[in-house]
A and B are shown apart, each in its own frame.
Chain A
Amino acid sequence: MPIANHHSSVPVIVDEDKCIADKGCTVCIDVCPLDVLWINEETGKAHMKYDECWYCMPCEADCPTDAVTVNIPYLLR
């Protein structure tokens, strides 16, 4: 069966100017219970790769540079 690409707006925003993932930081990626934050291979910064968020906030609370914001997922907003 063929598979389509499915677009969705994701709730976790990473400020790329503040994010230091390209310097080796993986704090937000490590603490996510759903493992949805990954390094964006083009920019070297963290980004939300999978739309599977519990809006629980460890990524935002533990980020050392205040680069992460957790919004409420659109369907719940």
Chain B
Amino acid sequence: MKINDIPVIETDVLVIGGGTAGPMAAVTAKEQDPGLNVMLLEKANVKRSGAISMGMDGLNNAVVPGHATPEQYVKEITIANDGIVHQPALMAYATRSFPMIEKLDSWGVHFQKDETGDYDMKKVHHLGTYVLPMPEGHNVKKILYRRLRRNRVQIENRYTATRLLKDPDGKIAGMIGVNTRTAEPIIIRAKAVIMATGAAGRLGLPTSGYLFGTYENPANNGDGHAMAYHAGADLANLECFQVNPLLKDYNGPACAYVTGPLGGFTANAFGERFIECDYWSGQMMLEFFKELESGTGPVFLKLDHLAEETIQEIETVLHTNERPTRGRFHEGRDVNYRQRMVEMHISEVGFCSGHSASGVWTDETGATTVPGLYCAGDMASVAHNYMLGAFVYGQICGESAVEFVKSRSEPELDEDFIIRELERIQAPMKRADGIPPEQMEYKVRRLVNDYLQPPKVTKKMEIGLERILAVREDVPQLCARDPHELLRAMEVQSIIDCAEMAARASLYRTESRWGLYHYRVDFPDQDDGEWFYHSRLFKDEDGQMASGKRPIADYLVSLGEEKDAYRKMRVQKAANE
């Protein structure tokens, strides 16, 4: 079959995004049924793509028998996320967490073990013990790549997806996209699609002003969020922004999960501890933000009290793993962990369920509200999912997709839709002059910072929304000189979608929740009577962006007397001080 002379590629299961969750989903689908055609499409190259391109220095949320139970984990994350979670999805993660660690271990991913051979678990969370260091975690991507080859997953690098396709029944039918080096379009018909396109990390503008100096890998710009929205899928709790504590300007993690267990901590300008727990939560970020803005600010990572060998251990991990240029950054400024504290700051805002809870709505089977469309990793709505959650939900989605395609006949394609999308893809390169994508992106992301960054104020957000919609009016003027700029031109359209979603979702929830993530100055209190719901964001029947409420599923684990533990983040001063 051909549409506009473009051959349609056929596959059973299509995975979009080759970072962490995507390869696991693709490998799982092939393990389940080696006879299926499984295609993995990646905007960059699966060898080094995604959030963990240089590996990872630890598991932040590992549920290991003897150290924690799935029930304890579900309870802790529910409390850390102010009650707004889908506990069945957290429980599915928690029960599969340990088998996944063992699977990765058998594949050659090294986790830290103690002298008895047991996993060397560390306590960083407020209540339980869930952090497992992996000082040799720099090779994760190589190990995943080997598995993809061994299981004969068909890999297509340097293609970016631009829209999902649906059949007349509303089931998923495939996708359309474009090659990032040749600008050649690609049309794929698929019986099931798994999206794992990562966070929406290019939403806010880093304080450095450098567009690509984001906390997230900037290839993760929210394409998946935008595509899911346009395909009619529900998104959830988008107002629960991601805001992280980072090394100022470098904008990478400091990283409390590595340094905390070794004695490092987050301190104010006087070297004093002000938060009881360095686990990333909205409540912790609110205390961080208050200290930053106070007379005892700014905030620092304090390591200068530690022994030489401890500092060497920290340097080895931080300067070889995850974000290895950290060492080079400190060197350039003559900053040495031994001599002085390192200045920290807060990141730009984004959508990322890895650290917060916003994303495309997914249940405990990885299913979205579009039949046949599954989501995993930082773009899916399962709270505090981190890297291990991406692996577990990649696996769950792989299994669910294989089950779905069993009874699925060849989907029918909507040719008119495809032709219109081809026109949208080709438009920027047909224009000789206009607005380059870089300028449009800078403008919309600067507006996100000015008007949507918490503390959130209603009138400011309304102005922000108006200004973002005005940028959308400029999209017909977008121009691209080459295929690379075309990639950026397609990305900026997703960024505009995400910015509008961020504004509307934030305006919808008229309360404050999740500490700094959704701190509304004019609605300062948490209102469980009105807002003990997931917020929904979706495209309504008229094609308009709409909001609504989704009830919280019955809890599997009750919270008991620890329910307010994350409200007591600030270190209490002694009365005689």
Q: Is the CB of A58 within 8 A of B53?
A: yes
Interface residue B182 (Cβ < 8 Å from any Cβ of A): no
Interface residue B310 (Cβ < 8 Å from any Cβ of A): no
8 A Cβ contacts from B490-545 to A: none
Q: Is the CB of A54 within 8 A of B47?
A: no
Nearest chain B CB to A59 CB, angstrom units? 9
Residues of the B chain whose Cβ atoms lie less than 8 Å from the Cβ of A72: 250, 325, 328-329, 332
Interface residue B323 (Cβ < 8 Å from any Cβ of A): yes
Number of A-B residue pairs, CB cutoff 8 Å, is 90
> Which residue of A34, A50, A53, A61 has the most chain B CB atoms within 10 A of its CB atom?
A34
C-alpha spacing A32/B352, complex, angstroms: 22
> Which residue of A50, A54, A57, A72 has the most chain B CB atoms within 10 A of its CB atom?
A54
C-alpha spacing A75/B181, complex, angstroms: 28
C-alpha spacing A2/B219, complex, angstroms: 28
C-alpha spacing A34/B208, complex, angstroms: 19
Residues of the A chain whose Cβ atoms lie less than 8 Å from the Cβ of B47: 30-31, 58
Interface residue B50 (Cβ < 8 Å from any Cβ of A): yes
Interface residue A22 (Cβ < 8 Å from any Cβ of B): no
8 A Cβ contacts from B151-171 to A: 157-158
Q: Is the CB of A75 within 8 A of B210?
A: yes
Residues of the B chain whose Cβ atoms lie less than 8 Å from the Cβ of A31: 45, 47-48
Interface residue B455 (Cβ < 8 Å from any Cβ of A): no
8 A Cβ contacts from A1-34 to B: 1-3, 30-34
> Which residue of B49, B212, B477 has the most chain A CB atoms within 10 A of its CB atom?
B212
Nearest chain A CB to B377 CB, angstrom units? 15
Nearest chain A CB to B484 CB, angstrom units? 6
8 A Cβ contacts from B329-356 to A: 329, 332-333
Q: Is the CB of B213 within 8 A of A34?
A: no
Task: Tell which of B48, B180, B217, B328 touches A62, judged by Cβ atoms closer than 8 Å.
Answer: B48
Cβ proximity bits B460-495 to A, threshold 8 Å, 1 near / 0 not: 000000000000000001010000100110000000
Nearest chain B CB to A60 CB, angstrom units? 9
Nearest chain A CB to B121 CB, angstrom units? 29
C-alpha spacing A52/B213, complex, angstroms: 8
Q: Is the CB of A76 within 8 A of B44?
A: no
Q: Is the CB of A76 within 8 A of B214?
A: no
- From known contacts A35-B181, A54-B218, infer whether A73 and B210 are also in contact, taking CB-CB under 8 Å: yes
Q: Is the CB of A50 within 8 A of B484?
A: yes
C-alpha spacing A75/B249, complex, angstroms: 8
Task: Tell which of A33, A49, A50, A70 touches B325, judged by Cβ atoms closer than 8 Å.
Answer: A70
8 A Cβ contacts from A34-75 to B: 34-35, 49-50, 52-58, 61-62, 70-73, 75
Main secondary structure of the interface of B (DSSP, over half): loop
Task: Tell which of A3, A35, A58, A61 touches B436, judged by Cβ atoms closer than 8 Å.
Answer: A3
Task: Tell which of B44, B435, B487 touches A33, judged by Cβ atoms closer than 8 Å.
Answer: B44
Interface residue B211 (Cβ < 8 Å from any Cβ of A): yes
Q: Is the CB of A35 within 8 A of B484?
A: yes
C-alpha spacing A72/B248, complex, angstroms: 13
Q: Is the CB of A3 within 8 A of B54?
A: no
Residues of the B chain whose Cβ atoms lie less than 8 Å from the Cβ of A55: 213, 325
Residues of the A chain whose Cβ atoms lie less than 8 Å from the Cβ of B213: 54-55, 73, 75-76
Residues of the B chain whose Cβ atoms lie less than 8 Å from the Cβ of A77: 329, 332-333
B488 nearest in chain A by CB position: A52
Q: Is the CB of A56 within 8 A of B210?
A: no
C-alpha spacing A75/B205, complex, angstroms: 13
> Which residue of B53, B158, B250 has the most chain A CB atoms within 10 A of its CB atom?
B53
C-alpha spacing A75/B214, complex, angstroms: 12
Residues of the B chain whose Cβ atoms lie less than 8 Å from the Cβ of A32: 44-45, 48
Q: Is the CB of B54 within 8 A of A58?
A: yes
Q: Is the CB of B329 within 8 A of A76?
A: yes
C-alpha spacing A49/B484, complex, angstroms: 10
- From known contacts A33-B53, A71-B328, infer whether A2 and B45 are also in contact, taking CB-CB under 8 Å: no
Cβ proximity bits B47-88 to A, threshold 8 Å, 1 near / 0 not: 111100110000000000000000000000000000000000
Nearest chain B CB to A33 CB, angstrom units? 4
Interface residue B108 (Cβ < 8 Å from any Cβ of A): no
Q: Is the CB of B329 within 8 A of A56?
A: no
B485 nearest in chain A by CB position: A50
A4 nearest in chain B by CB position: B436
Q: Is the CB of B433 within 8 A of A33?
A: no
Nearest chain A CB to B47 CB, angstrom units? 6
Residues of the A chain whose Cβ atoms lie less than 8 Å from the Cβ of B208: 73, 75-76
- From known contacts A72-B325, A76-B249, infer whether A33 and B212 are also in contact, taking CB-CB under 8 Å: no
Residues of the A chain whose Cβ atoms lie less than 8 Å from the Cβ of B333: 77
- From known contacts A55-B325, A62-B48, A76-B249, infer whether A1 and B212 are also in contact, taking CB-CB under 8 Å: no
Residues of the A chain whose Cβ atoms lie less than 8 Å from the Cβ of B217: 33, 54, 56
8 A Cβ contacts from B18-58 to A: 44-45, 47-50, 53-54
C-alpha spacing A28/B560, complex, angstroms: 53
- From known contacts A1-B434, A58-B54, A76-B210, infer whether A34 and B219 are also in contact, taking CB-CB under 8 Å: yes
Nearest chain A CB to B272 CB, angstrom units? 28
C-alpha spacing A34/B47, complex, angstroms: 13
- 4 closest residue pairs by CB, A with B: A58-B48, A31-B48, A33-B44, A75-B210
- Given known contacts A34-B218, A35-B484, A52-B488, what 19 new A-B pairs fall within 8 Å (CB)? A1-B435, A1-B477, A2-B433, A30-B157, A33-B44, A33-B45, A33-B49, A33-B219, A34-B219, A35-B158, A35-B180, A54-B213, A58-B47, A58-B53, A62-B48, A72-B250, A72-B328, A73-B213, A76-B208
Query: What are 8 A-B pairs at a CB distance below 8 A?
Result: A30-B45, A30-B47, A31-B48, A35-B44, A56-B323, A75-B209, A76-B250, A76-B329
